[in-house]
Chain A
């Protein structure tokens, strides 16, 4: 007969104030199979754990139920304690008396009765628990980094420098991300490209890094340590081995008027193009949507001018499959465009631009060579307004959160403007100034005090265009002033940062969870910020929420350490709570009839076929078999199996059935 030990925790007074723990211990002690039933002030404390350990040894317990807080909190603690006492950790269950009982009910008999019911259910279950051994799986020591912005670059370099192979996948033709578009960076005002491009080159040259640009992740199978990823390398219409990057084609292409993505639409590019001069790799791609040849079947100018004959119009997309052990997601963010704001002209006012566009105007390599000019008439604006929190912190716009980076880059923009247009007037309309970072507050003060940027606490309600000027309706809320109209030559919106388009799709492909704003969800907001709920997939940078460069880089290094830590082991140990198809002796071999209706149910492709063969090699029967490396233990196949031939450790049919019965019946 079972010898179950039941340990009821007071949790200080968290449980005992509402539940009569003495009575629970007494009633549970009367159940069949219970050899020991006690209560104690703090079961999770050292003396509490020792109670469990001592009882296991003295009373030769065959199972343990700790009735305390949620198993999501302390199940590992008590399983470890059991293991220390020589009891298989999987013979320990927790009954949730705190979150599910004492904290949600009043002190009365009903609550105590419910507590008894809960504990009894777990006592019934634990009697049917089996001693399980952890599963060991090998680790493929190669990482995949998705996204080649500064976070992806940092993560890839850090992992590669630890001696591991890295595959870096970037969707656009060049790595660099948004940081490559920036002019100067806060709070030091050093040139963004000057600090980034050496890192980009390092990535390209690193012996441990394989770079796939113009590529996307299409599919993912497997599990931590053992992923199989499918990457689509889009056709660049170019033999990259032959191309020398001379750039001749990009100057001869007759399609000249395509808005450049890199210039945020403020500059133009050709149909065959390199996004920007420092691009890595510095080789062109053909934009098939705008290429005359792809549209009409005629042209081929690039092919004609190419000195190395590297153009390949019929080049297909390439599908690359790679085995990897861990993934870092660094897909970054996007910003809302000005067309998102009807009150600010719906994107129709040419001189109402977003922050990223201003970066390009301020950039020495930008469309205006760093001179601030109005897009409408190329005039230098004499009066410029910056509107912070454009969209951010605005529930009405569906973006409740603070985008975190706008206060700082708006101060930077205003300063850059003042440095370039000394006689100009810069106004910043803000709600609050959030400058919480090293040297950040000082930076903002400098803008106000040294560069004389006018900071006005106000929400700009509308912008109206009048005779080439922009009239802002504002009210200085600090002065309590009446709304007034102020005239400007140009307006820069610090638009909200949002999740990268495609983030949702990618999350679904990778089985990673995401929040309501489609930012990837971290496993724990405080303690596991760089992990996802999917083991082996980590987060870096603004794909988790918008963040600035130093934060993105730190997070990337954090994720890299997680990957390196994983790769420091040759084998992973996994919980054995997985499914199993029964096996019997001949002639049945299993009650499984091999209908394989369970196969499409499995999200992890863990259900395989096993052929039972006779001595002469003839296949007698084909049975389902669970790959224990792939199974994650959801149990959907178990509920589906008609002949009840599959079962799952930890939640066996016997266990859950006995729980249901025990909930309503004493034993």
Chain B
């Protein structure tokens, strides 16, 4: 915690960055994103096990971006997100400084982003046991059980799009779900409309999702939507051998191909 504050102060005082995106104490024992622009305020910054939000989300937010160069407190999923955002040209590497947090919660020293890349190559990017188990359980179901599970789980969704808003890789100005010429996804937050919306979201994140789990955490109705995107992340590893966000030059899974991609269903 102290090391984060110290590093933040250095960066702000030396004007290497104009804002530090970190965590602070929020209400009701919650933590939340903090935007420190003045080094006198660095003592607001905290880090503990409650700090799970993927702060890389704010790197593409208009008001934050316009504050200037950004220092960001980044957990492993956030670091992977940063690589994805650089690969997808949403963030310029020269505009950010990463205050990486290792698995042990300690500040990592990244003199530049290539060091972060090499750290990620070796970092533990496995899903949590809980998420893994949930996905395995779903995969074991019959088609009918899976269909019932998802259509029922998604029925309550009222399309507040918290999952989309919380996702740092859902940065489109106009999401496909808002496209009404043609109306790809039914407008209504009905079983069908919700089912197709979440299918669309999972597909658009396949090969891109960094499995931070923020979409699921953001859902006010506790729908486990993160199990969709996380499954697609696992599949892109299995099918195409790609873990997203490990370098600043990720080749997007769905816009590249290999001649020897192996399918077992095309006649």
Residues of B within 8 A of A588 (CB): 173
- Contact-residue size bin, chain B (C-beta under 8 Å from the other chain): 10 to 19
Picked from B88, B173, B182, the residue with its CB within 8 Å of the CB of A654 is B182
Residues of A within 8 A of B179 (CB): 643-644
Residue of B nearest to A657 (CB): B182
Residues of B within 8 A of A486 (CB): none
Interface of chain A residues 584 through 638 with chain B (CB within 8 A): 588, 591, 593-601, 622
Q: Verify A640–B254 contact, CB threshold 8 A.
A: yes
Residues of A within 8 A of B182 (CB): 653-654, 657-658
A622 and B172 contact, Cβ closer than 8 Å, known pairs A597-B252, A597-B255, A640-B255: no
What's the dominant secondary structure at chain B's contact region?
loop
Q: Verify A596–B88 contact, CB threshold 8 A.
A: yes
Q: B174 in the interface, Cβ–Cβ < 8 Å? A: yes
Residue of A nearest to B176 (CB): A644
Q: B256 in the interface, Cβ–Cβ < 8 Å? A: yes
Q: Verify A593–B256 contact, CB threshold 8 A.
A: no
A654 and B181 contact, Cβ closer than 8 Å, known pairs A591-B173, A600-B251: yes
Interface of chain B residues 211 through 267 with chain A (CB within 8 A): 251-252, 254-256
Residue of A nearest to B251 (CB): A600
A601 and B173 contact, Cβ closer than 8 Å, known pairs A594-B89, A644-B184, A658-B182: no
Q: Verify B89–A643 contact, CB threshold 8 A.
A: no
What's the dominant secondary structure at chain A's contact region?
loop
A642 and B252 contact, Cβ closer than 8 Å, known pairs A596-B88, A622-B89, A657-B182: no
A642 and B89 contact, Cβ closer than 8 Å, known pairs A591-B173, A600-B252, A654-B182: no
A640–B204 alpha-carbon span in the complex (Å): 9
A600 and B255 contact, Cβ closer than 8 Å, known pairs A654-B181, A654-B182, A658-B182: yes
Q: B129 in the interface, Cβ–Cβ < 8 Å? A: no
Residues of B within 8 A of A601 (CB): 255
Interface of chain B residues 89 through 108 with chain A (CB within 8 A): 89-90
A594–B172 alpha-carbon span in the complex (Å): 9
Q: B58 in the interface, Cβ–Cβ < 8 Å? A: no
Q: Verify B90–A593 contact, CB threshold 8 A.
A: yes
Q: B40 in the interface, Cβ–Cβ < 8 Å? A: no
Rounded to whole Å, the gap between the CB of B59 and the closest CB of chain A is 14
Q: Verify B173–A596 contact, CB threshold 8 A.
A: no
A598 and B176 contact, Cβ closer than 8 Å, known pairs A653-B182, A654-B181, A658-B182: no
Residues of B within 8 A of A600 (CB): 251-252, 255-256
A595–B208 alpha-carbon span in the complex (Å): 12
A654–B181 alpha-carbon span in the complex (Å): 6
A593–B176 alpha-carbon span in the complex (Å): 12
A642–B177 alpha-carbon span in the complex (Å): 10
A595–B184 alpha-carbon span in the complex (Å): 21
Rounded to whole Å, the gap between the CB of A511 and the closest CB of chain B is 15
Q: Verify B173–A643 contact, CB threshold 8 A.
A: yes
Residues of A within 8 A of B119 (CB): none
Q: B175 in the interface, Cβ–Cβ < 8 Å? A: yes
Rounded to whole Å, the gap between the CB of A661 and the closest CB of chain B is 8
A622–B204 alpha-carbon span in the complex (Å): 21
Q: Verify B176–A595 contact, CB threshold 8 A.
A: no
Residue of B nearest to A590 (CB): B173
Interface of chain A residues 503 through 538 with chain B (CB within 8 A): none
Q: B150 in the interface, Cβ–Cβ < 8 Å? A: no
Over the window 176-206 of chain B, the binary record of Cβ atoms lying under 8 Å from chain A Cβ atoms (1 yes, 0 no) is: 1001011010000000000000000000100
A644–B180 alpha-carbon span in the complex (Å): 10
Q: Verify B251–A643 contact, CB threshold 8 A.
A: no
Residues of A within 8 A of B171 (CB): 593
Rounded to whole Å, the gap between the CB of B209 and the closest CB of chain A is 13
Residues of A within 8 A of B173 (CB): 588, 591, 593, 643
A577–B204 alpha-carbon span in the complex (Å): 26
Q: Verify A598–B255 contact, CB threshold 8 A.
A: yes
Residues of B within 8 A of A657 (CB): 182, 184
Residues of A within 8 A of B204 (CB): 642
A373–B8 alpha-carbon span in the complex (Å): 90
A596–B88 alpha-carbon span in the complex (Å): 7
Interface of chain B residues 73 through 94 with chain A (CB within 8 A): 88-90
Rounded to whole Å, the gap between the CB of A638 and the closest CB of chain B is 12
Residues of B within 8 A of A653 (CB): 181-182, 184
Residues of A within 8 A of B252 (CB): 597, 600
Most chain A beta-carbon neighbours within 10 Å: one of B89, B184, B255: B255
A593 and B255 contact, Cβ closer than 8 Å, known pairs A642-B204, A657-B182, A658-B182: no
Q: Verify B174–A643 contact, CB threshold 8 A.
A: yes
Interface of chain A residues 557 through 579 with chain B (CB within 8 A): none
Over the window 635-652 of chain A, the binary record of Cβ atoms lying under 8 Å from chain B Cβ atoms (1 yes, 0 no) is: 000001011110000000
Residue of A nearest to B183 (CB): A657
Residue of B nearest to A598 (CB): B255
Q: Verify A642–B256 contact, CB threshold 8 A.
A: no
A600–B90 alpha-carbon span in the complex (Å): 17
Interface of chain B residues 128 through 177 with chain A (CB within 8 A): 171-176
Residues of A within 8 A of B256 (CB): 600
Residues of A within 8 A of B90 (CB): 593-595
Residue of A nearest to B88 (CB): A595
Rounded to whole Å, the gap between the CB of A639 and the closest CB of chain B is 10
Q: A591-B173, A596-B89, A642-B176 are in contact. List 11 more A-B contacts (CB 8 A).
A: A588-B173, A591-B174, A622-B89, A642-B204, A643-B172, A643-B173, A643-B175, A643-B179, A644-B174, A657-B184, A658-B182
Taking Cβ atoms with an 8 Å cutoff, the residues of B that contact A are: 88-90, 171-176, 179, 181-182, 184, 204, 251-252, 254-256
16 contacts between A and B (CB under 8 A): A588-B173, A591-B173, A593-B90, A593-B171, A595-B89, A596-B88, A597-B252, A597-B255, A600-B252, A601-B255, A622-B89, A640-B255, A643-B172, A643-B174, A644-B176, A653-B181
Taking Cβ atoms with an 8 Å cutoff, the residues of A that contact B are: 588, 591, 593-601, 622, 640, 642-645, 653-654, 657-658
Ranked 8 nearest A-B pairs via Cβ = A657-B182, A643-B172, A591-B174, A595-B88, A601-B255, A597-B252, A644-B179, A642-B204
